[in-house]
Structure 1
């Protein structure tokens, strides 16, 4: 009789067995970034003690799902595995799930209740449960009926600078209504709540701008699992195009967004690739408006960068970057400088955008 049980990848022998099985099923990308995100892993064993299926949980995402078709009725192991993962998440109070996988598995997940959010030639993203993308959209403030030109800006804002303000202000001047979405992932020096607050305060005078979190639908490109790709060099291409496609189909279309504003990116190759992906995927339905980055007040050769602000926080030299920050952001940083520096000392990264 087949059994299903939680396994622990901290055990070298178990991990080796797990990787051997996944490799036999065509999954052989075990990068440290992918493995570090795993919270729990389950495996199905046949009556001979051989692994015939496995699946893992990373946050609210299912990953590394694979089953052997030999010796079992079609779909039985897959259904049992997904059910176990769902039940485990439900016990932790998580009822909204995501899957990133290969195109050929779309129907398998559809049969167990998952809905496709977006797909490219390299892979797709599906979700199941509540709150879903419809719930996310329904909770957003509605645009005025008179608004014809609707734009969007997606920011991490770690923290919100005058450069971010310039980007939002540019969109607000050229459109009737602007959605500003703040990335919701807590992988930044400033928490989601803090970043959202600073963006709201820094744009409060712009009457046609509404600020909201991006929920789980607008995330940093680095967070997309890509373990099922054969080559890590495909990762950025897959991630950026899938994210752009999701925005176009699930966010822009129902909200009537016809343009998305992004800052030019001379400092980050990954972000520049992301901007290129937006330009390839979004038009003609959504035009991509590239806005030149605002320059530092004291150095016309350097653009304003949130990274520069974070380094100044680390060094305790806030006055060096005071001219780069709106009053609300500067006041917040000055008030909580000690706490922000403590986060850095505890290992919070300050690199990145």
Structure 2
């Protein structure tokens, strides 16, 4: 047996072997990876595993070699790579039927769907996240949630929150914690807090790595480059995790989203929520707020930023967001 790194984007032969092994293991070849390991028996690829960010995925072992302890070897090699990259908390995608194998290697299951199981190792873990958000829980019965990247916070976001706040006792706003946006996480979180300060029944919370993150829904950040089939699996996972594990601890009964005429991946996410949510968790889709004939969107604001069209931006965002934009302009 020999072990080597596979350069999937440079080696067509290795890519073909990798794809065939994954399909034979009933896995979708997802080439959104930073690092891929292969184990060979002579010239045959008999085991593989990949890393994307702090996620282990696409782990497959040829059935002929299932008794060779190759799974442990693959996972251990991937752990070494993660530690070298500075990750001590990492996630795993796998098939539900083999969860027990990864539990024996120290992983804990967070959630599973019909297609995929989502597990983790290290910390701070999911249970600690639940404790964090529960600390902000209000003793109300009619509660709603909105998840947003807010890159940056716009009048469109504010409109959605205001509509939810009119019809619910408490509205929990989950601001995406990923550092993959034009505005950093701390700034986005603060701008949402400042923008809703006048709404006393709104609570702003982080998502950490458990709602629309590189762990639960990496395709969200690829937008038009994402594979639709992969995006649907990830969107479903994210929706089920929210419904079964997050909404209950805050007694959330409604989740609000805006219509999505601009992003196919976000539309897939809305469809997944509509399908997965039940009578216990209602999905309310509101028309997007418009200025003139165009919807107000963060992407529109970012495009105007590139054009340095600051006066056009002023009418699209709350004053607190505009002040931040002008501050960053000076810097």
Aligned partners of 2:191 and 2:320 also within 8 Å: yes
Deviations 1:215-242 (CA, angstroms, capped at 9, x unpaired)? 11111686159xxxxx954233322222
CA separation in 1, counterparts of 2:164 and 2:61? Answer: 48
Asked if 1:325 is matched to 2:317, the reply is: yes
**Unpaired segments ≥5 residues, structure 2:** 221-225
Answering whether residue 38 of structure 2 is matched by residue 81 of structure 1, we say: no
Larger relative CO (CA 8 A, sep 6+): 1 or 2?
1
Superposed counterparts of 1:251-290, under 5 Å: 251-290=246-285
Q: Distance in 1 between matches of 2:137 and 2:189?
A: 22
What corresponds to 1:308 in structure 2? 300
Mapped partners of 1:3, 1:101: distance in 2: 24
- 1:133-148 equivalent positions in 2, closer than 5 A: 133-140=126-133, 142-143=135-136, 146-148=139-141
How do residues 153-302 of structure 1 correspond to structure 2 at under 5 angstroms? Answer: 153-219=146-212, 223-224=218-219, 232-296=227-291, 299=292, 301-302=293-294
Following TM superposition, by how much is the alpha carbon of 1:200 offset from its aligned partner in structure 2, in angstroms?
1.4
Alignment deviations for residues 177-217 of structure 1 (CA, whole Å, 9 cap, x no partner): 22211112222222222211211111122222221221111
- Match in the other structure for 2:60: 66
Contact 1:143 1:177 in 2 (8 A): no
**1:100 match:** 93
Q: Which moved more, 1:260-269 or 1:191-200?
A: 260-269
Q: Could you tell me how far 1:142 is from its partner in structure 2?
A: 2.7
For residues 315 and 71 of structure 1, the distance between their equivalents in structure 2, rounded to whole angstroms, comes to: 57
Which residue of 1 is the match for residue 328 of structure 2? 336
Say yes or no: does 1:17 pair with 2:14: yes
Query: What SS does structure 2 have at the residue aligned with 1:278?
Result: helix
Give, in angstroms, the shift of residue 167 of structure 1. 1.3
Provide the alpha-carbon RMSD of the alignment: 2.8
Distance 1:281 1:22 in 2: 30
Report 1:42-57 matches (<5 A).
42-46=37-41, 48=42, 50-57=44-51
Q: Secondary structure at the match of 1:148?
A: coil
Shift of 1:71: 4.8
Name the structure 2 match of 1:122: 115
Q: Distance in 2 between matches of 1:55 and 1:82?
A: 7
Contact 1:182 1:213 (8 Å CA) reproduced: yes
Deviates more, 1:209-218 or 1:98-107: 98-107
Taking a change above 3 Å as real, the CA distance of residues 312 and 145 of structure 1, as seen in their structure-2 partners, is closer
Change (3 A) 1:281 1:19: same
Q: Distance in 2 between matches of 1:8 and 1:21?
A: 9
C-alpha contact (below 8 Å) 1:7/1:43 kept by paired residues: yes
For 2:65 and 2:315, how far apart are their aligned partners in 1?
Answer: 68
Change in CA separation of 1:145 and 1:239 when aligned onto 2, cut-off 3 Å: closer
Give the superposition deviation at 1:18: 5.5
Q: Secondary structure at the match of 2:279?
A: coil
Cα pair 1:313 1:337 within 8 Å, conserved: no
- SS of the residue aligned with 1:122? coil
More off after superposition, 149-158 vs 276-285: 276-285
Q: Look up the SS of the partner of 1:147 in the other structure.
A: coil
Q: CA deviation at 1:245?
A: 0.5
Q: How far apart, CA to CA, are the structure 2 residues paired with 1:334 and 1:248? A: 39
**Do the aligned partners of 2:89 and 2:124 also contact (CA within 8 Å) in 1?**
yes
The whole-number CA distance in structure 2 between the counterparts of 1:157 and 1:164 is: 7
Question: Given the superposition, is the C-alpha separation of residues 264 and 163 from structure 1 closer, same or farther in structure 2, using an over 3 Å criterion?
Answer: same
Q: Take 2:207 and 2:321, find their aligned partners in 1: how far apart are those partners?
A: 20
